[in-house]
């Protein structure tokens, strides 16, 4: 996905850099679709607002004017204008995911290591050692252990003696995770 950035140019008279928003040129079909979204009672308020911003941008309005007319911030108008310029309708239909992506932990390997092995030179797995082994954060390991009632390995060295029961509990947890995502 290539990035669309506003054009910068220097005004000869004032010697200042000025940002110019990407130009939005709509086909007749795109204009009709955006207009339909703005007028529809079934369209989400957010999508209708974004479609309205794009239509006003296509009519040649500046971000500041659009922001005042729509009742949002100039930065928000700039964001949706750029996303539409880059990805067209797909760019305004959904928000980008927020926060960090979910950590991918190999739950089967977590179960295997927890129930069937011990780390080198240690009597049990700590969250930090397990996290380092799996390449995830200690809090991720702890979340998986706590989700099914596993005693914290760092506080319960006798967990190795409970391996069969713990193994079954972990597999039950994995089935729940697989069923419910």
Domain parsing of the chain, residue ranges: 7-93, 107-180
Q: Which residue has the tokens 């797909």?
A: 90
- Residue 149 has what pLDDT? 66
- Of 127, 126, 124, nearest to 157 by C-alpha is 124
Tokens matching residue 45: 């308020």
- Of 22, 21, 35, 23, nearest to 64 by C-alpha is 21
Is 160 strand, coil or helix? helix
pLDDT in tens, 62-112: 999 999 999 999 999 999 999 999 999 998 988 877 777 766 788 888 878
CA 176 remoteness from chain centre:
24
Q: Contact 127/141 with Cβ under 8 angstroms?
A: yes
Among the residues of the chain, which ranges form H helices? 28-39, 45-58, 63-70, 74-87, 89-93, 107-116, 127-134, 138-147, 163-180
Distance CA 32, CA 9 (A): 33
- Residue 175 has what pLDDT? 72
How would you write the pLDDT of the chain (181 residues) with one tens digit per residue? 455 555 555 555 655 555 678 889 999 999 999 999 999 999 899 999 999 999 999 999 999 999 999 999 999 999 999 999 999 999 898 887 777 776 678 888 887 888 788 888 888 888 898 889 888 888 888 888 877 666 654 444 444 445 556 666 666 777 777 676 5
Residue 67 backbone class (left: φ over 0; alpha: ψ -120 to 50; beta: rest): alpha
- Residue 16 has what pLDDT? 59
pTM of the entire predicted model: 0.50
């Amino acid at each position: 996905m290539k990035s669309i950035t506003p054009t910068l140019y220097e005004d000869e008279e004032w010697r200042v850099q000025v940002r110019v928003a990407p130009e939005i040129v709509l086909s007749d079909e795109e204009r009709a679709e955006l207009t339909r979204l703005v007028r529809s009672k079934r369209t989400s308020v957010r999508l209708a607002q974004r479609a309205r911003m794009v239509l006003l941008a296509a009519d040649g309005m500046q971000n500041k004017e659009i922001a005042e007319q729509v009742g949002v911030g100039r930065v928000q108008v700039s964001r949706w204008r750029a996303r539409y310029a880059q990805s067209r309708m797909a760019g305004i239909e959904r928000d980008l995911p927020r926060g960090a992506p979910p950590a991918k932990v190999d739950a089967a390997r977590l179960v295997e290591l927890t129930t069937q092995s011990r780390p080198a030179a240690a009597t049990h797995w700590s969250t930090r050692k397990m996290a380092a082994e799996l390449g995830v954060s200690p809090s991720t390991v702890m979340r998986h252990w706590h989700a099914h009632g596993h005693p914290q390995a760092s506080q319960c060295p006798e967990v190795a003696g409970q391996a069969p029961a713990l193994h079954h509990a972990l597999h039950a947890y994995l089935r729940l995770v697989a069923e419910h995502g």
